Structure 1
Amino acid sequence: MKRKLASFAVFATLVACGDDSESKPCKVDDPRTCSKGLVCEPVVGEADPACFRPVEIRGSVIDLRTEVAIAAARVNAEEASGRPIGDVAETGIGGTYAIRIPSTRQDGSGAPVGQTITLRAAARDYVPFPSGFRVALPLDTAQATEAADGAWVVAGGPAVIGLEPLPSDRVGLASISGTVGLPSDGSLGFGTMVVAERASGGETITGRVNQRGEFVLFNVPPGSYTVQAYRRGVNYVAAGVAVERADVKGVRLDVAETGTATLAGSVSIVAGNGATSVVMVLESTFDETLARGILVPGLRAPEPGLAPNIKGDFRIDGIPDGRYVILAAFENDGLVRDPDPDISGTQIQHIVVSGGVTSASPKFKVTSAVRMVGPGAGETVEAVTGQPTFRWQAYSSAKRYDVELFDNFGTRLWIKSVTTTNAAYDGAVALEPGFPYQWRLTAFGNAGNPISMTEDLRGVFEIAP
């Protein structure tokens, strides 16, 4: 009976693709080849795709403090590597949104093959998410269930996004909106990041482009800005924009004729095992204290979607003109950039790309990370009851450890030096329930030089209400 039901499910989806579906299967890139409400997607083990109800992430955006719904927020989904997937959604009056996630189906039932997805959100008068070290928790589309309308839906948990209100002196600022030219290969707009950089420095606003090439940048203070688009394999012509109190609309960023660049470099693992990755961050978004910034979609070695595998030479193609920070061992892979400033290859590397040429070929030295015990040793935000005590495993040759605590804006709240493998928080700043904090640790050797540290994306926790 199960075999017959499965066969019927395949037949039903194929029939929905059109009047002549058996001789003309649907086309993945042409939604017109499926009936209304269905999408054409590949099936594991099948030569031809078929029509199915969509896979969607359905959630809401709320005020982190009051839990009131936020309308007109923009939400987009990304793969674990940071590559955008699906379109940009805008929340309705009730703060709800739905994003279709293109998927491969397990079989004729339509159940999706799992993908790890994270979400980004931005809205007027709110701090964008993620930002600082407030990380986006992963969603697994393999957990999708059939909703009443037949769609395969992932909901709840990380699909409910809380945004932190901006300080009162930054409420009511203008926005910049417009469009970018679409690449000549016919690809859609998503995958493009738009950035407004204030000419006098000190202010950078970022946003994502939807499938139609439209973008909105929220919360832009008055000033003169350069607005530029970044997309792997494409250069754009920047636009100058003057912002006062009113929203600026109709900004147009066209594709430039200049070619993109290739970055070649190398990574040396001086201690520890495994492999790592290399990513490119836009320099104007880089926070020196937190040692992180906004990753440009697709600018990664190995290719987005692949697990870290760099043990020597690496290469990143399709880099548009701009100023970048290159980060090795940034992802959670058990390795970190060697922090010893007296050793070459341990410094954070900055490069300029102009006219399709890179200014340097970076070389990195990475080492094994100090392993956390907790809180926040995993890849989720851990809830802590009461004042936290930070714990870690002893690191070989370490004689001292410096433990630091930061808030989400990158402000260091506390530092303590210890010779043990734990430290209780005893700072003067009271930690607020419901808001994220990150602790970091640096290990020092016999000569007082730093020899390792904890990983960049770990150590995030919040105080339970």
Structure 2
Amino acid sequence: MLKIFYPAILALGLATILFSCKDDDDKGPTEGVVTGTVLALDDARSVQGVSVSAFFADNNEPTGVSTTTNADGVYSINLMPGTYYLRLAKLGFQEVPPVGVTAIPFTIVEGETVTLDYDLVASAVIDGGAISGTVSSDSEMISGALIIATDATGSSYSAVSDAEGNYTILNVPAGTYTVQAWLSGYNGQSADGTVEANSITGDIDILMTAGVSATLDGSVKFLATGNKAVDVSLIHPSTQQVIPGLSVSTEGTFTMTDIPDGEYLARASYNNDTLVVDPDFIVKFGDPVVTVSGGAVTVTQGDATSGVLDFAVTNSVLLDNPSNTATEIVPVEVSAAGLTFTWKPYSSTSDYVVELLDINGNTIWGGFDNSGDIPVKVITTTSTSITYDGPALLNGRTYRWKVYASKDDKSNGGWSLISMSEDQMGLIKIIE
């Protein structure tokens, strides 16, 4: 049987910005606005009370800026110029984007407004509850910490602490959980809580201790391409979310500091830099696992164990049309009629897989099946273009398309990935 290797690295990606607050005397750039309406997908009703939080698009870290939708399902957030994505959460609905799925980013331009509408899907968790509390260290409230609740089976649910150190984890099945906070420079104590159906378990407060000093050294190898800046991050193994503060940029060797005790997966190359992590590298060695205990760092890649983290990156598949440019994370406006995707040929490729995702991060056309076996919905051979023939696309909505390159590989049982397009490319907005 033909096999496709679909490593977890395909779920992540993104571009560089810096967030700051507007000065009282109006010096420096002014803010822009992201606004939109949130509806329930099943009946198109407005959804009030949806938590909407802005995250930096280069490293998945929270900005600390959030709001909730009003009675008409409308939200509005002011942000400084830069590139971001939003996370939406509401009890009874699936989080947007789902954990492990790359969010579609957007760019804020000084003085301009970006409109992003969302459709919420009912949560698969029936009669779920919630966990809430605070995160603090020495009586100081901590914002931007990643909070993860895990049950005895390893199932995990997450949230991020806000500017006042408060957090709420929604749509948690009834049961008993261990809750822990993650943030660069801090070790977090765990706390236990029991969740009942359709209720909020409060006062699950997390204490953190400053002074973490563990350091990770490593390098990035560039395959068939020149050296350029690449980002490296540590993520939580169950939720696939970046640990806030644990990201660095490198053109070869790097050092990451202030790593808390714990076990992490390592990922690289979020930015639009024409590079992606070599899929063959992950197929051979698996995702690198970084374990930190008492300041000691161990890196496991396949059967090898060391104290350093090494990556290999390769050229990405280059998208042609329609797509935003690498420097402008703004969807291009296109008509759904006759929509055709084209891309540049990739060396040594025998097949291409094409995928279209909606703004929630869900694959709506093409891509891979869950088992990783071929059949895939949309696959081409030597052609570098394909016409969309999937479900109707909604006017005014944003989508992202991707291409994966593969080759025949008898040593791997048939078929394996060799590259893919970048997650911040292929952004389109449908217009009539």
Identify whether the pair has TM-score above 0.5, normalized to the shorter chain: yes
1:332–1:218 CA distance, 2 compared to 1 (3 A): same
Whether 1:213 aligns to 2:165 is yes
CA RMSD of aligned residues (A): 3.6
Whether 1:278 aligns to 2:232 is yes
Whether 1:363 aligns to 2:326 is no
Amino acid at match of 1:405: E
Q: 2:351 aligns with which of 380, 398, 401?
A: 401
Amino acid at match of 1:244: E
Q: CA deviation at 1:453?
A: 2.5
Distance between the aligned counterparts of 1:421 and 1:239, measured in 2? 52
Give the SS at the match of 2:185.
coil
Distance between the aligned counterparts of 1:260 and 1:432, measured in 2? 52
Q: CA deviation at 1:277?
A: 1.3
Task: Give 1:418's aligned residue.
Answer: 381
The number of residues matched between the two structures is 376
Give the SS at the match of 1:395.
coil
Report which of the two structures shows the higher radius of gyration computed on alpha carbons: 1
Q: CA deviation at 1:442?
A: 1.5
Task: Give 2:130's aligned residue.
Answer: 175
Distance between the aligned counterparts of 1:343 and 1:92, measured in 2? 46
Q: 1:442 aligns with which of 405, 408, 429?
A: 405
Identity level (%): 25
Work out whether residues 32 and 111 of structure 2, in 8 Å CA contact, stay in contact via their aligned partners in 1. Answer: no
Q: Unaligned stretches of 5+ in structure 2?
A: 1-19, 300-307, 370-375
Distance between the aligned counterparts of 1:55 and 1:374, measured in 2? 31
TM-score (norm 2): 0.74
Whether 1:392 aligns to 2:360 is no
- Greater RCO, CA 8 A, separation 6+: 2
1:182–1:268 CA distance, 2 compared to 1 (3 A): same
Give the SS at the match of 1:359.
strand
Q: CA deviation at 1:199?
A: 2.2
Moved more, 116-125 or 55-64: 55-64
Work out whether residues 178 and 190 of structure 2, in 8 Å CA contact, stay in contact via their aligned partners in 1. Answer: yes
Task: Give 1:299's aligned residue.
Answer: 246
Q: 2:259 aligns with which of 296, 319, 322?
A: 319
Give the SS at the match of 1:279.
strand
Q: Deviations over 1:59-91 (max 9, x none)?
A: 355116355432222222233433433443233
Give the SS at the match of 1:63.
strand
Task: Give 2:7's aligned residue.
Answer: none
Task: Give 2:122's aligned residue.
Answer: 166
Distance between the aligned counterparts of 1:393 and 1:403, measured in 2? 13
Task: Give 2:105's aligned residue.
Answer: 137
Give the SS at the match of 2:280.
coil
Task: Give 1:59's aligned residue.
Answer: 35
The 5 Å alignment of 1:186-265 reads 189-201=142-154, 203-245=155-197, 246-256=199-209, 259-265=212-218
Task: Give 2:56's aligned residue.
Answer: 79
Task: Give 1:330's aligned residue.
Answer: 270
Work out whether residues 353 and 378 of structure 2, in 8 Å CA contact, stay in contact via their aligned partners in 1. Answer: yes
The 5 Å alignment of 1:24-63 reads 40=24, 43=27, 55=31, 57=33, 59-63=35-39
Work out whether residues 133 and 205 of structure 2, in 8 Å CA contact, stay in contact via their aligned partners in 1. Answer: yes
Amino acid at match of 2:103: V
Amino acid at match of 1:314: F
Task: Give 1:69's aligned residue.
Answer: 46
1:200–1:399 CA distance, 2 compared to 1 (3 A): closer
Q: CA deviation at 1:457?
A: 4.1
Task: Select the structure that is richer in strand.
Answer: 2
Whether 1:349 aligns to 2:294 is no
Work out whether residues 39 and 73 of structure 2, in 8 Å CA contact, stay in contact via their aligned partners in 1. Answer: no
Q: CA deviation at 1:348?
A: 2.5
Q: Unaligned stretches of 5+ in structure 1?
A: 1-28, 32-37, 45-51, 104-113, 145-154, 287-293, 303-309
1:343–1:55 CA distance, 2 compared to 1 (3 A): closer
Moved more, 66-75 or 328-337: 66-75
Give the SS at the match of 2:238.
helix
